[in-house]
Amino acid sequence: MSRTVKGRYLSLAATGAALSLAVTLTGCGSLVGDNEVTLRVVAADYGDNPQNSSAAYWKDLAAGFEKTHPGVKVEVSVYSWSEVDAKVAAMVKEGKAPDIAQIGAYADYAAAGKLHTTDELLSVQTEADFLAPLAEAGKVRRTQYGMPFVASTRLLFYNEKLLADAGVIPKDGRTPWQPKSWADLEAAAKKLKAAGVPTPFALPLGREEAQAETMMWMLSGGGGYTDNEEAYAIDSAENVRTFEFLRDKMVGQGLTGAAEPGKTDRQAAFDAFTRGEVGMLNGHPTLIKQAAEKGVKFGMVPLPTADGTPQPAMGVADWIMAFKNGHRVESGKFLDWVYDSKNVTAFTRKYDLLPPTTSGFRAMEAANGGATAQLKPFLQALPNSRLYPVGKNSWAAVSESVKQNIGRAVQPGAQPAKVLEEIAVRARAEDKR
């Protein structure tokens, strides 16, 4: 999930960011013979402790593949999200790129000509199975290099008890909240404030994941980071109106609590939500478990839009890529194995994430009960979601610029148009490099 749980969903990876674990796995541990090929794979860890490390998943995956593909061995090195991107970058710089890497971004390597395209690797069936918005996000100049590994979307979480006590929803516990517009959101936040809720609506625009919170609001206002031609449109009229609403109606009326949004990180907002101090906030699937463990009863709905007109949710994906190491055929066979429906489903169920494939989507959609049922609202938003412009080499720099500056746009007396224009000018300059 930037740091999908940060621009990754963290990409999606907030769950593994704290783990400093590196594990090397070999499917069966035997020496490689003269006629055998060894695939070196680097993967990110989605676990938050040694007991639920992704290492176990990759070990089983490699062993299963080797049993049906004699002559190919798979060695997987699993690193925490805090170090995996740097590890791969260092390997590439040393001329020792892995055959396959499962990390947060692919565009720089694709632009440098170091990656295979997906149609050079995958079977037609596997390539066609990717959900359309995720496949599109994996493209550079209309050619796909990045293969989505897991995905996530974002929804608005609300504390049922706080909203009921404030009179936003009935206290019968059976009537879900169904806000449609920003006016509904503002009205609910005002009632929460009047009821003494410390933070009616948490607005984390701090460095941890400001680029995600920003994109969610842009989309709900009918805008986004890019236009229909994929050119940066950060300073569009729609985006300016969005941040004027946040400045005037949410922050300006004291509906976002005492903390300054630009200095509030997402995990801090999540923690406050699980303590019962926040009425509403945007969140990803990992908040389900965090809130449940603290006994917080919550609901989840799409983020209301400016005028109630439906808009796409934000999606996030983490990526797999294959480097040009002379093992194209073997890498392709292993990737077909990775994307087998049963393997995709096993991983997404373990870590409460969303499948990147149509077959995985259908399998999750058909499942009933437990954590899968709670994930279905996120799943339903995925096919029409919008992702970060990760196919742009400039995105990393633009994301950093958003993290550093977007909080200024909602300060009392700020000029959102000016702040967005500054970010947009830098983005366009980066895009031309």
Q: Quick one: which H or E segment has residue 279?
A: strand 278-283
- What's the rounded Cα separation, in Å, for the pair 16 and 356? 19
Residue 24: CA atoms inside 13 Å, Cβ hemisphere, count? 6
Classify 45 as helix, strand or coil: strand
- How far is residue 178's CA from residue 299's CA, in Å, rounded to a whole number? 10
Q: What distance in Å separates the CA atoms of residue 397 and residue 168, rounded to the nearest whole number?
A: 41
pLDDT tens per residue, range 183-200: 999 999 999 999 999 999
Percent of the chain at pLDDT exceeding 70: 91
pLDDT digits (tens, 9 = 90+) for 377-425: 999 898 889 999 999 989 989 999 999 999 999 999 999 999 999 999 9
* pTM assigned to the model: 0.83
DSSP β-ladder status, 139-140 and 143-144: antiparallel
239, 420 contact by CB (below 8 A) = yes
How confident is the prediction for the chain on average, in pLDDT? 90
> CA 311 → CA 171, 211, 213, distances in Å?
30, 18, 15
Which of 30-39, 115-124, 276-285, 294-303 is the least confident region? 30-39
CATH no. of 155-312: 3.40.190.10
All structural domains of the chain with their residue ranges: 13-152+315-386, 155-312
Q: How far apart are CA 332 and CA 146, in angstroms?
A: 13
Q: Do domains 13-152+315-386 and 155-312 have the same CATH topology?
A: yes
CATH architecture group of domain 13-152+315-386: 3-Layer(aba) Sandwich (3.40)
